Chain A
Amino acid sequence: MKYPGIARLGGYAEEVAAALRRRRDLRRPRVRVRVDHAEPRVLEDDAPEARRLLGIARDLVADQGGPATAA
């Protein structure tokens, strides 16, 4: 019976770790800005405007985050 080599197992582990990293990055809080149909850019996490926008958005989502009820 053949066993996968250590290198191959290491490769699998790296792929899983990369997939988890990509998934975590996708769900990371971030601010994306697009001006006049140009390519969007993501603001740096520590940029003051990004921090302000994230703070306001957190409060607004907490206030209005649930599904809209019929008027």
Chain B
Amino acid sequence: MAATTQELALRYLLELSVDIHAAALVDCDGSLIAAAPDSFGGGAAKLARELAAEARALAPEGATTVEIDVSVEDGAAFIICGADHSMICVTGRSVLPGLIFHDMHAVLTDLDRAAAQEAQRVAIPVTGHPRAADG
């Protein structure tokens, strides 16, 4: 099955930063849009959805973006919660949060730009044109 734009964007994010081990994109209604790498299974998807829900619960009324970094003993989880979707990244322990958030924002901006271009794309009516008969 062909990878979606979001999956390609998350794979690019993993290429962008070797510190990021896994990434996921969750819709505002809590459904998983895309995840990378391929080993991101159902259990991890459920945890990503839970993290996104907790992040949304922390957002005050009227907030446009909430950034959360959760450092634990063996690594860290980073969440950017926006109006449309949330991005979750899993990293190692010794990372610079500012850099991770910068890379995440870069990919989210690209995704927003791609979505805007897709929305602006005008459907061109297909018109039949005469083709020369073969032979």
CB pair B72–A36 under 8 Å, yes or no, is no
Number of A-B contacts (CB under 8 A): 110
A63 at the interface (CB under 8 A from B): yes
Is A8 on the interface with B (CB-CB < 8 A)? no
B contact residues, total (Cβ < 8 Å): 43
Instruction: State the CA gap A33–B76 with chains docked (Å).
Output: 14
Which chain A residues border B68 with CB–CB below 8 Å? 31-34, 53
Question: Among the interface residues A28, A57, A67, which one has the most CB atoms of the partner chain B within 10 A?
Answer: A57
Counting chain A residues whose Cβ lies within 8 A of the other chain, the interface size class is: 20 to 34
Quick check: B74 and A65 within 8 Å, CB to CB? yes
Residues of B within 8 A of A (CB): 11, 14, 18, 20-22, 36-41, 43-44, 47-48, 50-51, 54, 57-60, 63-77, 88, 90, 92-93, 97
Q: Told that A58-B73, A64-B21 touch, could you supply 20 new A-B pairs with CB distance under 8 A?
A: A29-B71, A30-B70, A30-B71, A31-B69, A31-B71, A33-B66, A35-B60, A36-B63, A36-B65, A52-B54, A53-B77, A56-B70, A57-B77, A64-B44, A65-B74, A65-B92, A67-B21, A68-B20, A71-B36, A71-B37
